[in-house]
Amino acid sequence: MRLSPDEMIFWQHGFLKLNGTIVFTWALMFVLAVGSKLITRNLSTELERSRWQNLLEIVVTGIEKQIEDVGLRHPKKYIGFLGTLFLFVALASLCTVIPGYEPPTGSLSTTAALALCVLVAVPFFGIEEQGLGGYLKSYIEPTVIMLPFNIISELSRTLALAVRLFGNMMSGTMILAILLTITPFIFPIAMSALGLLTGMVQAYIFSILAAVYIAAATRGRKPRPEPAQDIKA
């Protein structure tokens, strides 16, 4: 029994290897990029537009609205990072309906990579917004005593991001696999539907948390206690 698609190795050459996680990620990347390219190839600026363009506009403007709601003043600047996080995670879980597919987010390596990206993006955007001094100053606020706790918080929330997504996605796949062996009829479908819902919720949580962290860093204030702790499935 595989815990993650990492163990599905297609090709290996010493340190380099081509496992299921990377291959499925590429597939998702291909679908996203080519699909976007195809749809946005003939964009209309008129009042009439194609259904696909309408769909993409809804998705993109929806994400933009969410980012703005979190408190980021220039959503267009962050939509590339935060939007891609959401779309990748959401599509990864949506595609679980395809037989033989395993979500790359079910691999701790992928979720860790995404969490690391967030870990890097937060100070990147923070420094870009309020300068190096301003960003570093936020670690010793309200007092210097808080500095270690802030650092621990920074690391722990990255770890939490990675593990939360991995746990949810992996469990979904695992439960489905186990259930198929016990009750192969009907019940796995219900669980699969539940898995899709969980996947969407996790995609939302992941990107919103990243947005909150970035918003906290760019505004030079300590983030409030993680709301995700309460929502966490």
Q: Which residues in this chain contact another protein in the complex, by CB under 8 A?
A: 3-4, 6, 15-17, 19, 21-22, 25-26, 29, 32-33, 36-37, 40, 43-47, 49, 53, 56-57, 60-61, 64, 76, 79-81, 83-84, 87-88, 104, 107-110, 112-114, 116-117, 166
* Contact indicator for 210, 172 with CB cutoff of 8 Å: no
* Contact indicator for 149, 157 with CB cutoff of 8 Å: no
Q: How far is the CB of 174 from another protein (least distance, A)?
A: 13
19 or 138, CB closer to another protein?
19
Q: How far is the CB of 84 from another protein (least distance, A)?
A: 5
Angle at 70 between CA 106 and CA 37, to 5 degrees: 60
65 or 221, CB closer to another protein?
65
User: CA 116 to CA 56: how far, in whole Å?
Assistant: 28
- Return the exposure string of 163-195: e unless at least 16 CB atoms fall within 10 Å of the residue's CB, then b: ebbbbbbbebbebbeebeeeeeeeebeebbeeb
36 or 171, CB closer to another protein?
36
Q: How far is the CB of 42 from another protein (least distance, A)?
A: 10
93 or 138, CB closer to another protein?
93
Q: How far is the CB of 108 from another protein (least distance, A)?
A: 4
User: CA 213 to CA 79: how far, in whole Å?
Assistant: 14
Residue 83 backbone phi and psi in degrees, to 5: -65, -40
44 or 183, CB closer to another protein?
44
